[in-house]
């Protein structure tokens, strides 16, 4: 039995560049990569440990991308099992966005507001799941004694919480509190950095977020966990993601000349998406206008998506992105979206481009399109306009 463990995808976010359209697309793009991996690896299920969305009231665009990606799992016969993080939980009497996904048939919500125990029938057998959504630590302490293990050979704990073993100021429970040794695998979410350990013979894993939401989470690598439960000794394989955007942090920059020297070593524009630049100045910047002009130039040339300077006498409003400058860097995605003017057609065109060297994939894509009358009508209208 193979599971793909992912968490903290925060669909709909644009952090740390507030309101950046290009940054928002990053979160959808890397989520699509997770779905690609699940289909490619022919997993029995994808388990998501909370904060699928960044807000409990997603925009229509966010719903569109979430459903579009998850429908591909449904077509492949791969269940998407999810517990709620604090960002997925509604306030007062609102409906969680996770319940909307469940209603349209692309997700199964295992726990929304309190712990639940399930036996889930998968392609290669039954999986017992103890599902624990987010709660404040004081509420979670009341839950600990109520957690029940499922009557199944393979048992997994899925939870959105912070372990005491992380050494953070705030935490929910220890591995002893959770009786982690009583499960084959402990799948966790809420901690945005990859972290794993073993409690007895049980792997305990945080895969981390699929995109950094803050400068403190900057990393050159992001992962999902491929979990093999077929034997008594559970094997966890880390799969590196490739479609996330890097955040480059420069600490203690002394001024314009120092900035120039460091930029020359970054090899900007050589590979991948243009990064987000975070520049921390160690003292008053006596050539601030030159610094800002240089950073703006990097954005205009598409070498960085945006930048955030911090330090003495640097205003909070100095954060800039391609949208702030009125120019977006030219990328394959931005060009296709501009031409198509329609998310569905844009995704179709990008699929053809990315599969251009795989005849079988292109043929399958064309057959899929021809079977969707409304999409064909949209394409015909677009061609007539052009």
Q: Do the beta carbons of residue 226 and residue 6 sit within 8 Å?
A: no
State yes or no: pLDDT of 361 exceeds 70: no
The chain-wide mean pLDDT, for the chain, equals 86
pLDDT of residue 233: 92
C-alpha torsion angle, residues 57, 59, 63, 66 (rounded to 10)? -90
145 pLDDT tier (thresholds 50, 70, 90): confident
Find the mean pLDDT for residues 145-171.
94
The per-residue pLDDT for range 203-258, each reduced to its tens digit, is 999 999 999 999 889 888 999 999 999 988 999 999 999 999 999 999 888 888 88
Q: Do the beta carbons of residue 186 and residue 205 sit within 8 Å?
A: yes
Q: Do the beta carbons of residue 247 and residue 272 sit within 8 Å?
A: no
pTM of the shown model: 0.81
Q: Do the beta carbons of residue 192 and residue 213 sit within 8 Å?
A: yes
The per-residue pLDDT for range 95-143, each reduced to its tens digit, is 899 999 999 999 999 999 999 999 999 999 999 999 999 999 999 999 9
330 pLDDT tier (thresholds 50, 70, 90): very low
CA distance 116 to 129: 8
Domain extents in the chain: 2-240, 247-321, 332-385
Find the mean pLDDT for residues 338-346.
59
CA distance 126 to 288: 62
Q: Which two tokens stand for residue 377?
A: 């009508």
The per-residue pLDDT for range 35-78, each reduced to its tens digit, is 999 999 999 999 999 999 999 999 999 999 999 999 999 999 99
Q: How many residues does the chain have?
A: 386
203, burial (CB in 10 Å: exposed 0-12, middle 13-18, buried 19+):
buried
Fold of the domain spanning 2-240:
Purple Acid Phosphatase; chain A, domain 2 (3.60.21)
Q: What percent of the chain has pLDDT over 70?
A: 79
């Amino acid at each position: 039995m193979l599971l793909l463990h992912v968490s903290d995808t925060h669909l709909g976010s644009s952090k740390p560049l507030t309101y950046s359209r290009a940054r928002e697309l990053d979160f959808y793009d890397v989520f699509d990569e997770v779905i690609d991996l699940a289909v490619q690896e022919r997993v029995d299920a994808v388990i998501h440990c909370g904060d699928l969305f960044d807000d409990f009231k997603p925009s229509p665009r966010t719903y569109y991308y979430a459903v579009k990606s998850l429908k591909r799992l449904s077509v492949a016969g791969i269940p998407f099992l999810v517990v709620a993080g604090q960002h997925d939980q509604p306030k007062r009497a609102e409906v969680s966005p996770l319940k909307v996904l469940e209603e349209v048939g692309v997700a199964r919500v295992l726990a929304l507001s309190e712990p639940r125990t399930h036996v889930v029938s998968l392609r290669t057998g039954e999986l017992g799941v103890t599902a624990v959504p987010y709660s404040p630590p004081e509420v979670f302490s009341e839950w600990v004694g109520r957690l029940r293990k499922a009557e199944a050979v393979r048992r997994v704990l899925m939870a959105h919480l912070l372990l005491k073993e992380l050494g953070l100021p705030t935490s929910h429970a220890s591995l002893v509190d959770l009786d982690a040794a009583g499960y084959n695998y402990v799948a966790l979410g809420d901690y945005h950095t990859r972290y794993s350990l073993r409690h007895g013979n049980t792997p305990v894993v945080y895969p981390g977020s699929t995109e950094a939401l803050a400068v403190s989470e900057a990393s050159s690598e992001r992962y999902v966990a491929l979990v093999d439960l077929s034997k008594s000794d559970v094997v966890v394989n880390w799969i590196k993601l490739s479609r996330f955007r890097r955040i480059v942090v420069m600490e203690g920059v002394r001024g314009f000349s120092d900035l120039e020297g460091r930029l020359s070593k970054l090899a900007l524009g050589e590979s991948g998406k243009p990064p987000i630049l975070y520049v921390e100045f160690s003292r008053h910047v006596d050539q601030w206008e030159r610094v800002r002009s240089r950073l703006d130039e990097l954005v205009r040339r598409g070498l960085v998506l945006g930048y955030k300077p911090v330090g003495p006498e640097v205003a909070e409003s100095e954060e800039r992105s391609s949208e702030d400058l009125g120019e977006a860097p030219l990328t394959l995605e931005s060009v296709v979206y501009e031409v198509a003017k329609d998310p569905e057609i844009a995704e179709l065109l990008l699929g053809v481009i990315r599969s251009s060297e795989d005849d079988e994939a292109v043929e399958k894509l064309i057959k899929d399109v021809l079977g969707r009358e409304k999409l064909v009508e949209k394409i015909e209208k677009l061609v007539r306009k052009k």
